[in-house]
Structure 1
Amino acid sequence: MLCTPTLRTPFNVYLINLLVTNILQITLQVPLEISSALFSRWWMGWTACTVYLFANNVLIGVIMASHVLISVNRVWALTYHLHYKHHHTLRTAIQLCIFVWVWVHVIVVPGIVSDALYYRRPLDKFGCSINTSAQPKWALAKHFLGYILPLVAVILTFPYILGKQLLRKRVGVVGGGITQHITRNQIGIENSDNSVTESRKGKRSERLSKIWTRGTVLYVLMTVSLLATWTPGRVYFTIKLFINVDNASVFQICYVLFALQSVFDPVLFAIALKELRPFGCRMSVH
């Protein structure tokens, strides 16, 4: 994918990172989840259980953090445009994505390793799950730092980003630059060459405005789909940390929603690349 010049833009790095993570989740977690659901107990062995727990915890954390990266990126671009324009490079985007993967591994992997080595309960009796009762402090830290905090960050930044984008759209700001379609004739100066030039600029601004609008809609769809599919599960598992509840129906609904999100992201990602590629090539999509 990165061999295509139009994809080698800083903002597309975040989308590609999100896509790769979703593909890994669909490849590693979903098949094991389906196989486990078809039987009354976990039958695929210790190693498969470890792979499943890794995918179920690390990859979900990376997906959540990737959405935070996109939100923070938009806040940065909309609030400090000049600083963003000069400092947000392809290298910066790659480094931020690497940081997200390292951050999630630092939070999640120690607990998974400890569980596999010391605390994992018999699979035939308890199924494939982390024994959080043996590591309560780690389970709490992982849940809030890896899942709840990123979700709250997306929720808090969403109205700000949307409001800023709508405001910039209203005053004629597209992609950080002010676009005006005012010809010399409109201010009383007769100059045909300048009128043609300004007319072309106006058409270009109109075209970029349409692309900007599509990009805003796609950002809204990605964020809304994330909140709709992830919030119920996060609320349920937060309650489960403090209260001994175990509702199989709610648990299944939460995991179906998680699986749907893994499908939504790649679809929206593909749409975004198709719609934003001309904008990214000409304006260096951030």
Structure 2
Amino acid sequence: MLISDNHSQMTPNATTPTDYTSALLNVSIFSTVSPPAAQWTAVPIFTLIIFLLVLLVNATVLYVFYANPHLRTPFTIYLINLFSANIIIALLQNPLDVLFELYGRWTFGHVACSLYLYGSYAVSGGTMVCHVVISANRIWAIVFPLHYRLHHSKRVAVWICVGIWGYVHVLIVPGLVMDGLWYRQPLEKLGCQVNMETQTAWSGAVHWLIYNIAEIFVVGAYPFIWYFRKKSRKVTNLSDSKPSSKPSDEANTTLPRVDTIISLETMAPPAPPKPRSDRARAYSMTITIIKQKENTHAFTMLTFLTCSVALCWTPIMVFYGLAPYMGFPPVFYPLARGIYALQAVADPIVFTLALREVWNAFVEMGRSMVRSKRRPSTVPTVTT
């Protein structure tokens, strides 16, 4: 992505707004002499640790979904999409990151650079839009719970995920193709990066329409969801305090807006209703939702997800938004990059802890592994 063009050497001086590329990436000309040996500093070690953690935690949660088909609900389709993208980014970026940080030069050619930039821009941008879709899904479930339960199916979730990647590719891929064909700078001198000076309109549009708007939406959606959730609780408590009387199908009934319980059961599409009128079916579904026990795991999940996005995304967004206009200490950019990389580790952990069914399946998988190791091997006895 635009915030991952890290194949640059940090200069000892702060950035200045005179040159956009050097201001944004603090680029300096690499030495033509290859270093005699790999330099195992804190940066490549940290990148290697992040790479292993991303593969471990995301692949583990994906295996839990694979081994437990009942967990694959419409909502978890978005999670499977997000965790798969995290693994793809790690495979396309992190190994090359480690090698570049060890030797200080890009020696992998233009094809590897194109794949690296595709993962940095297109796949990484897709993960940010995935977070937007998850927040939008929570708004849909809280504000319009009946509509959500009736219309949110696996097929809808799959098509939304397809739309995510179509939107990202339409915006990003043309700029990457033009950069690779006409504008790419010498890899031996400047490393693998997009020449944004030649495509300022495209880079600005991508920053705002994918990266900046993603953080604004995810963080801004949280108070919106909190307000409607609180309002729904008041409506639910007021409805519970009144004596229940089932209106007739012809009565003009105003259905209260209620707070749906976000668990894997309610995320799944509802069972086909019995042949009744639309009003009676809607009333029955409303009463069912109101009478269910309140579950706060979903809102807790949203809270931790919003906090992790704000903490992991903000430093790098601030750097790329202000680098053309002001200077930053040399340590700020690698630190911001490292914090941003932690999001791919935090995502599966947050969702696993927040979704009870996923956590129970994860715990049961661990117990099964322990039991299989403790099980004594049986040696057949030979009788004569």
TM tier, shorter chain?
0.7 to 0.9
Q: How many angstroms apart in 1 are the aligned matches of 2:358 and 2:292?
A: 15
Residue aligning to 1:62: 126
Of 247-256 and 47-56, more deviation after overlay is shown by 247-256
Task: Give the superposition deviation at 1:146.
Answer: 1.3
1:20-45, Cα deviation, whole Å (9 max, x unpaired) = 11111122212222222222221222
**TM-score, normalization by structure 2:** 0.60
Equivalent residue in structure 2 for 1:86, among 150, 158, 161: 150
Counterpart contact for 1:214–1:275, Cα < 8 Å: no
Counterpart CA distance in 1 for 2:320 and 2:140 is: 31
Separation in 2, partners of 1:82, 1:215:
17
Q: Deviations over 1:148-203 (max 9, x none)?
A: 112111121111113333444564555269xxxxxxxxxxxxxxxxxxxxxxx9xx
Alignment coverage as a number of residue pairs: 248
What is the root-mean-square deviation of aligned Cα atoms in Å? 2.4
Partner of 2:179: 115
2:87 corresponds to 1:23: yes
State the partner residue of 1:141. 205
| 2:343 equivalent to 1:261 | yes
Question: Which amino acid letter does the alignment assign opposite residue 25 of structure 1?
Answer: I
Larger radius of gyration: 2
Aligned amino acid, residue 314 of structure 2:
T
Aligned partners of 1:221, 1:118: CA distance in 2, in Å? 43
Question: CA–CA distance in 1 between the matches of 2:192 and 2:198?
Answer: 15
Counterpart residue number, 1:188: none
Q: Which range moved further: 24-33 or 229-238?
A: 24-33
Q: Is the 8 A contact 1:22 1:265 kept in 2?
A: no
State the distance in 1 between where 2:233 and 2:203 align.
43
CA distance in 1, matches of 2:213, 2:347: 20
Which consecutive residues of structure 1, in runs of 5 or more, have no partner in the other structure? 178-200, 279-286
Please name the residue that 1:220 is paired with.
303
Once the 2 structures are TM-superposed, how far is the Cα of residue 102 of structure 1 from its aligned partner? 0.6
**Higher helix proportion (structure 1 or 2):** 1
Q: Once structures 1 and 2 are overlaid, which stretch shifts more, 163-172 or 1-10? A: 163-172
In structure 2, C-alpha distance between the alignment counterparts of 1:138 and 1:110, rounded to whole Å: 9
Written as runs of structure 1 = structure 2, the 5 A alignment for 1:1-286 is: 1=65, 4-169=68-233, 171=236, 175=260, 205-206=292-293, 209=294, 212-240=295-323, 242-243=324-325, 248-275=330-357
Deviations 1:259-284, CA, capped at 9 Å, x for gaps: 11111112223334544688xxxxxx
Q: For 1:55-99, what per-residue CA distance to the aligned partner results, in whole angstroms no more than 9, with x for missing partners? A: 111122111101100111111111112222222111111111110
Q: C-alpha displacement at 1:14, in angstroms?
A: 0.9
